[in-house]
């Protein structure tokens, strides 16, 4: 079995959302300072790196991450490539080889090259799902949509795609690292940190192939 780790490493250089506090790593205890052990303290947004969104992110009174079903977060998934697309619109999605019944869909785009290149500054024109693309996903029964930049929605259209997906119970998994992963069918394992009430949570995400 081949295991693809499609998680962005959480390091102090990891790109954060504009306006989010920077990642901070401090060591209240440090062997190098003569303490009995090393303990790292992390300060980070719930939407750091590879993470998912809960309904509470955009929907007033919406559910937190603890309500997201593991039976959706784990299971068969399809990785498709849309390497020339500048946005994941309904038309772009309709032209991709996505069979009916696909519940977990990951879309690899030109964003993948940014992580592969080790970029350290936020890129506003990342490829993401437009509002009509979000409606297409809902209408086609997709339950989990994985994207390869830090938001499922375009920078200039953040609200509506999130609202459409989250209101329909679709789980956006954002910040996937998909360079070097061939398109095809996999078993997805996406495990968000269990933070009750949180609007998002970092995840370790892997794809299991043959
Ligand atoms: Zn998010």
pLDDT tens digits, 171-206: 999 999 999 999 999 999 999 999 999 999 999 999
pLDDT at 22: 85
Strands 184-192, 171-174: parallel, antiparallel or unpaired by DSSP? unpaired
CA distance 152 to 172: 6
- Given a cut of 90, is residue 155 above it in pLDDT? yes
Annotated catalytic, 140?
no
Task: Examine residue 17 and state whether it is found in any structural domain, yes or no.
Answer: no
Task: Examine residue 96 and state whether it is found in any structural domain, yes or no.
Answer: yes
Task: Examine residue 166 and state whether it is found in any structural domain, yes or no.
Answer: yes
Q: Which residues hold their Cβ within 5 A of ligand 1, which is an ion?
A: 47, 53, 174, 200
Distance 47 CA to ligand 1 centre (A): 5
How many domains are contained in the chain? 1
Please identify which of the residues 47, 51, 57, 162 carries the catalytic annotation.
Answer: 57
Let me know: does 129 contact 145? Beta carbons within 8 Å: yes
In the structure, what pLDDT confidence band is assigned to residue 209 with cuts at 50, 70 and 90?
Answer: very high
Task: Examine residue 73 and state whether it is found in any structural domain, yes or no.
Answer: yes
Let me know: does 54 contact 176? Beta carbons within 8 Å: no
Task: Examine residue 88 and state whether it is found in any structural domain, yes or no.
Answer: yes
Cα 96 to chain center, whole Å? 20
CA distance 172 to 50: 11
Distance 4 CA to ligand 1 centre (A): 22
This prediction's pTM? 0.97
Read off the pLDDT of residues 42-79 as tens digits, 9 standing for 90 and up: 999 999 999 999 999 999 999 999 999 999 999 999 99
Q: Which domain holds residue 133?
A: 2-11+46-209
pLDDT at 210: 83
In the structure, what pLDDT confidence band is assigned to residue 128 with cuts at 50, 70 and 90?
Answer: very high
Read off the pLDDT of residues 3-34 as tens digits, 9 standing for 90 and up: 999 999 999 889 999 998 889 999 999 999 99
pLDDT at 21: 82
Task: Examine residue 20 and state whether it is found in any structural domain, yes or no.
Answer: no
The values of phi and psi at residue 125, to 5°, are: -95, 35
CA distance 165 to 134: 6
Q: What CATH number does residue 87 fall under?
A: 3.50.30.50
Task: Examine residue 194 and state whether it is found in any structural domain, yes or no.
Answer: yes
Q: What angle do CA 103, 105, 106 make, to 5 degrees?
A: 160
Task: Examine residue 114 and state whether it is found in any structural domain, yes or no.
Answer: yes
Distance 104 CA to ligand 1 centre (A): 17
CA distance 26 to 35: 14
Residue range 87-114: mean pLDDT, rounded: 98
Let me know: does 194 contact 202? Beta carbons within 8 Å: no
pLDDT at 177: 98
Distance 54 CA to ligand 1 centre (A): 8
CA distance 201 to 49: 10
pLDDT at 20: 87
User: Which one-letter DSSP state was computed for residue 38?
Assistant: -
């Amino acid at each position: 079995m081949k295991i693809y780790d499609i998680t962005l490493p959480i390091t102090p250089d990891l790109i954060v959302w504009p306006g989010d506090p920077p990642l901070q790593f401090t060591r209240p205890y440090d062997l190098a300072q003569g303490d009995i052990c090393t303990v790292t303290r992390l300060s980070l947004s719930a939407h750091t790196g590879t993470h998912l969104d809960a309904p509470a992110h955009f929907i007033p009174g919406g559910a937190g991450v603890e309500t997201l079903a593991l039976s959706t977060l784990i299971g068969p998934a399809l990785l498709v490539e849309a390497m020339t697309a500048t946005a994941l619109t309904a038309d772009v999605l309709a032209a991709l080889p996505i069979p009916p019944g696909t519940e977990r869909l990951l879309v690899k785009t030109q964003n993948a090259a940014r992580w592969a290149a080790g970029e350290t500054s936020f890129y506003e024109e990342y490829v993401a799902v437009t509002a009509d693309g979000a409606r297409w996903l809902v209408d086609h029964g997709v339950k989990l949509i994985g994207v390869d930049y830090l938001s499922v929605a375009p920078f200039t259209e953040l609200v509506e795609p999130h609202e459409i997906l989250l209101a329909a119970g679709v789980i956006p998994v954002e910040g996937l690292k998909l360079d070097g992963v061939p398109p095809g069918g996999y078993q997805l394992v996406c495990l968000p940190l269990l933070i009750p009430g949180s609007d998002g949570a970092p995840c370790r995400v892997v794809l299991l192939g043959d």
